[in-house]
Structure 1
Amino acid sequence: MKIGIVGLGLIGGSLAIAFREKGLEVLGVSRKATTCETALAKGIVTRASTEMGLLQTADVVFLCAPIKAIVPTAQALIPHLKPTTILTDVASVKGEIVQAIAPLWPNFVGGHPMAGTAEQGIDAAIPGLFIDAPYVVTPTPETPPDAVETLKGLIALLQSRFYCCAPQIHDQAVAWISHLPVYVSASLIAACGSETNSEILQMAQAIASSGFRDTSRVGGGNPELGLMMAQGNRQALLNSLAGYRAQLDQAIALIEQEDWEAIANLLATTQQQRPSFL
């Protein structure tokens, strides 16, 4: 089986490494010739090019471009594919992408490998990135079952945990556990940074430790990615933000009322709920 990968950054490069380790031929396409040269020098891909035509013999192609570039990349790629090629993507939002590409290519299967690091680019690609990570595919009722099964087999090679759901289910679920935390975390940083007393601010910055580090991590990540999350998954993110705001309002009210029993019950409930998400 020949695997095509468009975009040889962290995700695309790590996919290439994983499939090469399983003995598959990997064809890589990047906008930059230097990235192609690096991928070849490191043995990450079998062949590489800046031209989409390299993928005309690929059996499965992974679109690993940024969220906003997925659809135009697919449109540019499709004329070069053989009719049986399975096309998939790795974007963290699925609704708009599936809606746009599925009518253009019947063998399109939306996908989202939920793994990554804070690093970017071909040099960030690492072996084993997807081991035991969730990998969600989002077929529609019109998606050929064989295409889903082929992708499921490749996900098994990655040693990822396979999940399958409708695009809309994926987007709201991801809004809760991935996109909402980015904006909660960013708001935490912004709120702390808005402290007007310089002595207090300096002390807070000096003594910030694991609690702040853990809860602020995703809010201090890639701004471009956070923006694309909001643009691509706007309504689901708004739904999640509204739900979170309601919980904050409830906590504020309970503390104002000094209803310590209710606060204790809330914290006991969240303590019990957390393991089911991890």
Structure 2
Amino acid sequence: MKIGIIGLGLIGGSLGLDLRSLGHTVLGASQKESTCQTAKNIGAVDHARTDLESMPQSDLIFICTPIPYIIPTLQQLIPSLKPTTIVTDVGSVKTPIVQDCTALWSNFVGGHPMAGTAEQGINAAQFKLFVNRPYVITPTPESPAESVQILADLVSSIGADVYTQYSPQIHDQAVAWISHLPVMISASLIHACMSETDSHILEAAQKLASSGFASTSRVGGGNPELGVMMAKYNKEAILRSLRQYRQNLNDLINYIETENWSSLENTLEYTQQARPNFIDS
């Protein structure tokens, strides 16, 4: 199969490495010539250009650009695509993307590989990034069943755990809980710590911070642009999650202020028991 990948960063580059290792021909596109060259050097693509001229040759195209560029990229592609070409994306928000892209191209199928690292860019690309990681495909009732199956089989072939049963709306609220909300909470943790006005306490906190703080603050110290895009394109779902989180935080404050240790213990026992449902599933 000839596969196009537009946007040769961590996700696009990693997809290219895996797909080429399975014998597919990968045609890449990136705005920077240096990125195209690096992608060729590391074996992520067979050919790469700084325009989209090679994309019409593809049987399936992954749009791996930041969220704001997904729809404009599809609009640019459409005049030269074959009717049979499947187009998908890798954005972490699905409802607005699927709605607009499906209206533009009936053979569009939304997707979201839930894998990544703290590093970004083509130099962070790696083999087997998607192995045993969720890859959500969000078809609509109008999505061609054959195209959905082709995409599902393809991403399954690189080791991903494929989910096709969730609508874009269910995906967005679920991801708000387990991906977007943690970014906002983690960022607020760092911001709260930095609000310490006693310089000696702040210095001590920075020197003594260890694995617990590293784990809970990691996603809040990531790419600011990605955080803004999450909030902008998944606004209602994130706000719903943040408001519920605020209520839970207020409950904890109340338990401690009133020395209601039994309710605090019950809450912590409940969260201890609930966590494996997310981590070990």
Q: Same fold (TM over 0.5)?
A: yes
1:236-247 alignment runs, 5 A limit: 236-247=237-248
1:57 match: 57
Query: 1:43 Cα deviation (Å)?
Result: 2.2
2:93 & 2:210 partners in 1: Cα distance? Answer: 32
1:109 match: 109
1:206 & 1:38 partners in 2: Cα distance? Answer: 38
| Partner deviation per Cα, 1:6-52 (whole Å, 9 max, x = no partner) | 01111000000000010111111111122212222222211111221
Query: 1:119 Cα deviation (Å)?
Result: 1.4
Q: Which 10-residue stretch deviates more, 192-201 or 72-81?
A: 72-81
The percent of aligned pairs where both chains have the same amino acid is 59
Q: Which 10-residue stretch deviates more, 175-184 or 43-52?
A: 43-52
Q: How many residues align?
A: 278
1:67 match: 67
Query: 1:272 Cα deviation (Å)?
Result: 0.3
Q: Does 1:142 align with 2:142?
A: yes
**Over the residues paired in the alignment, what is the CA RMSD in angstroms?**
0.8
1:254 & 1:39 partners in 2: Cα distance? Answer: 54
Query: 1:232 Cα deviation (Å)?
Result: 0.9
SS at match of 2:105: coil
1:42 & 1:242 partners in 2: Cα distance? Answer: 45
| Partner deviation per Cα, 1:100-155 (whole Å, 9 max, x = no partner) | 11011011000000011121211111111111110001111110111110011011
1:212 match: 213
1:154 & 1:80 partners in 2: Cα distance? Answer: 24
2:271 match: 270
Which runs of 4 or more aligned residues in structure 1 lie more than 3 Å from their structure 2 counterparts after TM superposition?
none
2:259 & 2:80 partners in 1: Cα distance? Answer: 66
Letter in 2 for 1:215: T
2:181 match: 180
| Partner deviation per Cα, 1:144-184 (whole Å, 9 max, x = no partner) | 11111001101111100011210000000000000000000
2:127 match: 127
2:83 & 2:108 partners in 1: Cα distance? Answer: 11
1:251 match: 252
2:224 match: 223
1:149-188 alignment runs, 5 A limit: 149-164=149-164, 165-188=166-189
Query: 1:211 Cα deviation (Å)?
Result: 1.0
| Partner deviation per Cα, 1:222-261 (whole Å, 9 max, x = no partner) | 1111111111111100000001001001111111111111
| Partner deviation per Cα, 1:66-122 (whole Å, 9 max, x = no partner) | 111111111111222111000000000001111111011011000000011121211
1:36 & 1:213 partners in 2: Cα distance? Answer: 34
SS at match of 1:103: helix
SS at match of 2:117: coil
2:221 & 2:236 partners in 1: Cα distance? Answer: 23
1:115 & 1:78 partners in 2: Cα distance? Answer: 28
SS at match of 1:102: helix
In the alignment, is the contact (CA less than 8 A) between 1:52 and 1:80 conserved in 2?
Answer: no
Letter in 1 for 2:210: S
1:79 match: 79
Letter in 1 for 2:170: I
| Partner deviation per Cα, 1:183-226 (whole Å, 9 max, x = no partner) | 00000000010001111111111111111111001001111111
